[in-house]
Amino acid sequence: MTTQTAPGSRPDGGTRASADPTSAPAGSVPGAPHPGDAARPARRTPSGTVVRTLAGVALVALLACLPLLAIHVPGVLPGPTYTPGALQMMALCWLIGALALSYHLLFGVAGLLSFGHALYFAAGVYGLAIVLDTTEIPLLPAAALVLVGGIVLAHVVGAISLRVTGISFAMVTLAFAQAGNVLVRRNPGGATGGEEGLALATGNVPDAFVGVLNTRNLYWLALAVLVVVYLVVLWVERSRAGHVAAATRENEMRVRVIGGRPYLVKLLVFVLAATLATVVGMAYLLLQSGAVPRATSADFTLTLLVMVVLGGVGSRWGAIVGGVLYTILDQRLGTLASSAAVADLPAVLRVPLSEPLFLLGTLFILVVMFLPGGIAGAASRLAARRRPREDREEARERLEEVA
């Protein structure tokens, strides 16, 4: 007895895609792409991933070699790359870039607009400074103790703050950050130093991280922190929790309907971002040799938000570029404002140029108006415009070969 199979089916009971245009979904035009195809992101080819990985490794290797080179960038670095001043500034750029990357995990991935992210950075800075100043614990155990404290603090604040959403969440995180700022400025028991800050107690710090002559080691430490933060953020984004966090950012109700647990995922991302900020804060203390109250202010969190928006919301490398660019501008515009060249200008030019914050604010407004996707968005648009041109040129070359 012969068994007949229906068109488009296999003898084993499976089905195969039909090439008949009439098999398209109802209401669609035969031969036209499915509406969902445009929404699906293009798969990254293995070769492209390998190239990007090798390029990243090469860039990190180049940055690691900068203290051994004599590269001078006028207007950006205060001297050649091997000098302590230039190394100090570049190390600060890497740490601020890593801090902006931790805020990207909170805001760009999970969509949580926090006004209190500086609280966990300050926990790392002041926590390590207080432990080293009041105890005889060596650096690594002290850092581990502060890290545990930062995780506990993030759990408590996150568990309370995430009970609300939107602007209410931002206000609750702001309230916690302001409480931390008031606590630091009140100087309870003389532990925080009040308005003057707290100097780093170097008794239990290895000699390799103390002194101007060891700025090179601090530079490598800052670069290592940036690499670790980037790898952790990359791992979170590609993990199942990262995908659920991104889905929750887009439509939390749908995630609940399909059985997801948005609260726990958001709390996990919140704690991870706070933990990374605590790590950056401890490295910042070693680099700056002290803690200052500005590290606890809400203004500092707003600065992180500006960095992420400047670089491009949702982009890892955009957050790093935004943090580095903002740090360079903040450092160099201050030097420009106090220079004799600006002092000799007419008042109509001297007044705005002598206010670095005014210039940074103007730059931020221009980016928001003319580069809505930030630096990363502008780069993506340029690459998208260039790609069709390259495709056309490749097609033309193939036609000429065939002819």
Q: Which residues of the chain have pLDDT under 70?
A: 1-48, 387-403
Cα separation, 89 vs 7, in Å, equals: 69
- Give the model's pLDDT for residue 89: 92
Run of H or E residues at 199: strand 198-199
- Give the model's pLDDT for residue 193: 86
Cα separation, 308 vs 321, in Å, equals: 9
- Residue whose entry in the numeric block shows the structure tokens 């190390």: 91
| DSSP three-state, residue 9 | strand
Dmax (CA) of the chain? 102
Contact 110, 288 (CB under 8 A): no
Q: What are phi and psi of 199, to 5 degrees?
A: -80, 155
- Give the model's pLDDT for residue 29: 38
- Give the model's pLDDT for residue 294: 84
CB within 8 Å of 57: residues ≥ 6 apart: none
- Tell me how crowded residue 166 is: count the other CB atoms within 10 A of its CB: 9
- Give the model's pLDDT for residue 287: 92
What DSSP letter does each residue of 311-332 carry, written as one string?
A: H-TT-HHHHHHHHHHHHHHHHH
- Give the model's pLDDT for residue 130: 93
Core vs surface per residue 67-97: b (16+ CB within 10 A) or e = beeeeeeeeebbeebbbbebbbbbbbbbbbb
